[in-house]
Structures are given as C-alpha cells and as structure tokens.
Amino acid sequence: MKRDFLHIVDFSSEEIQELLDLAVRLKKEYQEKGENPPLLKGKVLGMIFQKPSLRTRVSFDMAMRHLGGDALYLSPQEIGLGKREAISDVARVLSGYVHAIMARVFDHEHVLELARWASVPVINGLSDYNHPCQAMADALTIQEVFGKQKGLNITFVGDGNNVAVSLMHICVRLGWNFTIANPEGYDLNPRAVAQAQEIAAQTGSRLRFLRDPHEAVRDADVIYTDTWTSMGQEEEAAQREKVFPPYQVNAQLVSEARPHVIVMHCLPAHRGQELTDEVADGPHSVIFPQAHNRLHAQKAILARLFNVL
C-alpha cells in the first residue's frame, strides 16, 4: 500500500525520528564518500509547481540525483492544475509515467486531491496550510545543534502561517515546547492547533500562544521567523508591513533569548523586514545549514516512500 507525505501529524513520533536518523545517515554518507548508493535507480519523481521555488526544486532534484534517480520539473503553464485539466485526471495520468509526485501548490485541497487519485506516493512540497518537508529540515538542523534532548524551547515569531503549522507539529511530535508570538488576526489555523494540543498531551510538550515577541523569546533555544507576506498574499503586503515591524528578529530580540540560541528562517528572507542582516549573517544564524538540510531530509523521505530503506 502506498504512503504519502502530506502532514507531519500523519506520522508517529517514532516514525519522524526514524526519518531524521535516516537523513543523518544519508548526509554523513554523502559527506564522507561524496555519494549515496543509487537506491532510486530507474525511479522518476514528477515535480508539479504552482509556485516558484529555489530550495524545493533544487533540493528535490538533487536528492533524486544523489540516490540515482531522476526528477521531472512540471511548470505551472504545463499543467494548470485544476484549471486546464481536472486534478483527478492529472494524478491518474502522471501515475502511469512517474514513480512518485511532489507538488508545491497554493491550495492545500489540491495536494490532497492529487494524493486521493494518484496510485504513486505524493509529497506535499508546500501548500497554503503547511510545509512538512521544511519542518523535517528544521528538526534535522535543531538536532544537529542540540541533539535529541526533549524539552527544547522553540519560538516562532511572526505570521501563523504554513511553516509555523508544520514547525508546531514536529515540535510536539519530538517532545519540544513550541511558542508563537504573532499579531492579532494572524493566528495559527485552529484545526492545526487542536491537533498539536492532542499530541502534546501525549508527548509532554508545552504550547504557548502569545502576542509579545519579547516574552516569547525568553528562555528560547531556537528563534524562528518567516516572511510577513507569503506568496498569494501580495495584496495584503502593505497592511502587513504596518502590522509586523514589532515582530522583527533583530539583535535586541536575540539578546533576550538564551545565550546559545540559534536563529532559523525557511527562506527566502526579506532582509530588513522580518530579519535583519546583522542577525541573518551573525553568529546565532543557522539559516544556510538549515536550507542545505532540505536536501538530506528529503532524501530520507524519498527513500522511505519508495521503500528502499
């Protein structure tokens, strides 16, 4: 039976940690030997993009190459998902051509429908609801710095967006505490919060939902931020630029966290808005190792979905 990678909460805490351990193994192997075994030789990943991408496209393409497979890029103009052709038809057609599908979409329902109709595994490369592949790279980066210890304090500062949803979910799966500070009207999805609360009750994670970023970063081991305006929200940009300046991650805010705090951002960053140059390029920043870990986390996801490891 095929398995998809659509939400962090679809996987148990043990399964998430196994994927992270596999990512560590594949990364170490590649760094030491300059290659991974061709586990996916003869396999092709079809990559559907409604949104442009640097990290998602290149990391998935290179992940397939590292594992001996191929990736096929499908642009928005080529498919017109849900417009030019029914999603159910796209899913069934592609299932006869490729061995797995990765989709980066605006509407979360589109990736769910792809998975519903595809007979091959479907990976959520980003939707307006969540970003599970990013969360895997985030957790890999955090564990590289702090190990597998429980009770870490992860603080997200900014919009309660898709990245924040998946970060919250992986935190509670791994027994970390999650805090978000966001302006009123930019809260996390209530359904996502309810799921996190249910998991936190089992794993012992603590969840906090605050307005004050200064209170939120107190005792933080990780400060995470993201763009104030995501793709598809451009008409809100002017309003958001009035609301979010108090949530900028700058040197003062970082100084209020624990001395060993690391600063994360999923990129692309709007420097001078949610994140200052001083912090992005400073000693606490891990934003580039974090970006590079997309490659290794996704190799683990692909290997597991293809049942080769």
**Catalytic residue numbers, as ranges:** 104, 131, 134, 226, 266, 294
- Alpha carbon distance 126, 105 (integer Å): 6
Task: Give the C-alpha distances (Å, rounded to integers) separating 144 from 28, 140, 141, 202, 290.
Answer: 12, 6, 5, 25, 10
CA distances from 283 to 130, 262, 279, 286 (A): 29, 8, 8, 8
What's the CA gap between 301 and 98, in Å, rounded?
17
Sheet bearing 177-181, strands edge to edge: 207-210, 177-181, 153-157, 222-225, 262-265
For residue 61, count other CB atoms closer than 10 A to its CB. Answer: 19
